[in-house]
Amino acid sequence: MAAPLELSCWGGGWGLPSVHSESLVVMAYAKFSGAPLKVNVIDNTWRGSRGDVPILTTEDNIVSQPAKILNFLRKQKYNADYELSAKQGADTLAYIALIEEKLLPAVLHTFWVESDNYFTVTKPWFASQIPFPLSLILPGRMSKGALNRILLTRGEPPLYHLREVEAQIYRDAKECLNLLSNRLGTSQFFFGDTPSTLDAYVFGFLAPLYKVHFPKVQLQEHLKQLSNLCRFCDDILNSYFRLSLGGISPAGQETVDANLQKLTQLVNKESNLIEKMDDNLRQSPQLPPRKLPTLKLTPAEEESNSLQRLSP
Amino acid sequence: MCNLPIKVVCRANAEYMSPSGKVPFIHVGNQVVSELGPIVQFVKAKGHSLSDGLDEVQKAEMKAYMELVNNMLLTAELYLQWCDEATVGEITHARYGSPYPWPLNHILAYQKQWEVKRKMKAIGWGNKTLDQVLEDVDQCCQALSQRLGTQPYFFNKQPTELDALVFGHLFTILTTQLTNDELCEKVKNYSNLLAFCRRIEQRYFEDRGKGSSSIRSS
């Protein structure tokens, strides 16, 4: 389509194009289907607090939630699910529902409700993206919205209390992650070799959890143990989000991009493995030390690594 | 489906008797277990399970489909019952408040409606119109129909928890009389789902003579 598509969403950090799960889902889908999207990082809108981000604007349409945006893109012929069978399409819906029911509450909790995480990471980050004076109000609102959602959907009446729900939602999230990992197995994407809607959703929800550095990390730790899911996130990041830093891929070069992406994927897998093991050592000192190809480490890093290994 | 002997009892204060506030719940000896998930686990601990024959991937699929049904069908049913003004006024208020004397019937009905509306708003369904909700239900039924295909049950020969859940929702949708029949029509579009419900009803419910509201009559 010739009409320019603009996506307004929260910005990126920690190596991700966006820190907001739903924005990431839409961006990933656009990359997979080759839709040319111009990404606008929003900063001063009330819409973020009402959960209306991401927003897709074209010449005469404004579409707001991820599901609707994906539908709209499909109608414009940017369809990443073209090769899926009917049963796989049905499976997609089911797995998306699973993620929204089981994983989303825990992700919301990790980001917005857990006080350590919220005050040290989430709130400063969002506040830095929003101009004063909204930066004082919006993060608080988003946090309350998240808490509300968790309590209303998981809290059992008449006991709308957070403590009882916390343990349950984390258990559910861990189970959900295990199920996703089982389903992915050793394949590249969930349905064969080409990414689809389900991959976009899984990536959108897992990537922030995987990449953002939090003080309280029980869910992140669990995710890191599921190496095929980590590999999945890294693959997508490397192949689809590093090639064009501006976030645009011209529609005419789709096939060339696809081949290039496959080639770079192969190359990146090798360097990813090394990088990931390196990351693991640096971020999770409590894991037992592994044999690493130490060629990559400089003497300074080696020293800091051994220091971390010694610390509890 | 597990061939366990049960006695069904209707009580007005069922929601309050339940330990988690939700119906249905079962009362076994001196134990009370509520909601489908825990009940299934309880029955499994006693040695009866429908999903033992499934492998890991199939179990994952089953869980995913159960969540889909819960997410879409359950929420749509709640929406239709409590957020659609016509239905609320004519049917839901009267039905929900019927065991109680005035003014309690009105108060409790309004309270429940407020609770449900709050929940809808929290998950983003607050701004949906009835048409959008029906479209979602249609998508969900389509997914279920495609998954079922021509098989007798969702995981081929044996019924599982997913079959029980789907049957429960679809049967209710098909047999409840509402002011608006569109939800019912949406489900009827999928003939294999209809056949599925009939099959389960005939096999498991008519043997015990519980055919109080049969699908054939609607």
The pLDDT assigned to B28 comes to: 75
The pLDDT assigned to A285 comes to: 59
The mean of the pLDDT values for chain B is 76
Q: B146–A183: do the CB atoms touch at under 8 Å?
A: no
Interface test with B, best of A88, A98, A183, A226 (most B CBs within 10 A): A98
| A233 contacts: CB under 8 Å, gap ≥ 6 | A203, A206, A207, A210, A211
- CA distance, residue A101 to nearest chain B CA (Å): 7
Domains parsed from chain B with CATH numbers: 1-44 (no CATH), 53-206 (1.20.1050.10)
Q: Name the interface residues of B facing A (CB cutoff 8 Å).
A: 20-22, 56-57, 60-61, 63-65, 67-68, 70-72, 115, 118-119, 122-124, 139-140, 142-144, 146-147, 149
What's the half-sphere exposure (Cβ side, CA atoms, 13 Å) at B156? 3
Give the nearest chain B residue to A67 (CA atoms): B136
Give the nearest chain B residue to A65 (CA atoms): B124
**Cβ-Cβ contacts under 8 Å, B63 against chain A:** 98, 179
The pLDDT assigned to A48 comes to: 47
Q: B64–A95: do the CB atoms touch at under 8 Å?
A: yes
Tokens standing for B12?
Answer: 């007005």
Sheet holding A5-9, edge to edge: A37-41, A5-9, A55-57, A62-63
Q: A97–B144: do the CB atoms touch at under 8 Å?
A: no
Distances (CA, A) of B53 to A113, A153, B121, B165: 40, 31, 40, 18
Residues β-bridged to residue A8: A40, A55
Looking at the structure of chain A, the number of domains it has is 1
For residue A307, being part of any structural domain is answered with no
For residue A308, being part of any structural domain is answered with no
pLDDT tens per residue across span B67-122: 888 888 888 888 888 887 777 777 777 777 777 787 887 888 888 888 888 888 87
Q: A93–B60: do the CB atoms touch at under 8 Å?
A: no
Give the nearest chain B residue to A164 (CA atoms): B20
Q: For position A186, which CATH number holds? A: 1.20.1050.130
Interface test with B, best of A93, A102, A197, A202 (most B CBs within 10 A): A93
Q: Quick one: pLDDT band at residue B216, thresholds 50, 70, 90?
A: very low
Do the Cβ atoms of A39 and A241 come closer than 8 Å?
no
The pLDDT assigned to A141 comes to: 79
For residue A310, being part of any structural domain is answered with no
Give the nearest chain A residue to B124 (CA atoms): A51
**Cβ-Cβ contacts under 8 Å, B151 against chain A:** none
Interface test with A, best of B35, B57, B147, B165 (most A CBs within 10 A): B147
Q: B71–A158: do the CB atoms touch at under 8 Å?
A: no
The pLDDT assigned to B15 comes to: 64
- For residue B32, give the H/E element and its range: strand B31-34
For residue A289, being part of any structural domain is answered with no
The pLDDT assigned to B12 comes to: 62
Nearest to B193 by CA among B157, B142, B124: B142
- CA distance, residue B208 to nearest chain A CA (Å): 33
For residue A224, being part of any structural domain is answered with yes
pLDDT tens per residue across span B110-168: 888 888 888 888 777 777 788 888 888 888 888 888 888 888 888 777 788 888 888 88
**Tens-digit pLDDT string for chain A (312 aa):** 445 677 777 777 777 777 778 888 888 888 888 777 777 777 555 554 455 667 777 777 777 777 777 777 777 777 777 777 878 888 888 888 888 888 888 888 888 888 778 888 888 877 777 777 677 777 787 888 788 777 777 665 444 567 777 887 888 888 888 888 888 888 888 887 788 888 888 888 888 888 887 777 788 888 888 888 888 888 888 887 765 444 444 443 445 566 666 667 766 777 777 777 777 777 665 555 554 444 544 444 444 444 444 444
The pLDDT assigned to A3 comes to: 54
Please provide the DSSP assignment of A62-112 as one string: EE-SHHHHHHHHHHTT--TTTT--HHHHHHHHHHHHHIIIIIHHHHHIIII
Tokens standing for B165?
Answer: 């859940």
**Cβ-Cβ contacts under 8 Å, A148 against chain B:** 122
**Cβ-Cβ contacts under 8 Å, B21 against chain A:** 156-159
Residue ranges making up the domain that contains A43: 5-244
| A134 contacts: CB under 8 Å, gap ≥ 6 | A44, A46
The pLDDT assigned to A161 comes to: 65
Tokens standing for A97?
Answer: 């529902």
For residue A93, being part of any structural domain is answered with yes
Nearest to A109 by CA among A120, A119, A117: A117
The whole-angstrom distance between residue B112's C-alpha and the CA centroid of its chain comes to 18
The pLDDT assigned to A274 comes to: 72
A93 vs B20, B123, B139: nearest CB:
B139
A5-9 and A37-41: which strand pairing? parallel
B63 vs A98, A145, A149: nearest CB:
A98
Q: In one letter, which amino acid is A127?
A: A
For residue A277, being part of any structural domain is answered with no
- Name the E strands within chain A: 5-9, 37-41, 55-57, 62-63
The pLDDT assigned to B87 comes to: 76
Q: A152–B118: do the CB atoms touch at under 8 Å?
A: yes
Distances (CA, A) of B20 to A172, B35, B97: 17, 8, 21
For residue A255, being part of any structural domain is answered with no
Tokens standing for A230?
Answer: 């980590």
Q: Number of Cβ pairs closer than 8 Å across A and B? A: 72
Q: A152–B70: do the CB atoms touch at under 8 Å?
A: no
Per-residue pLDDT for B11 more than 70? Answer: no
Interface test with A, best of B123, B136, B155, B193 (most A CBs within 10 A): B123
Give the nearest chain B residue to A177 (CA atoms): B60
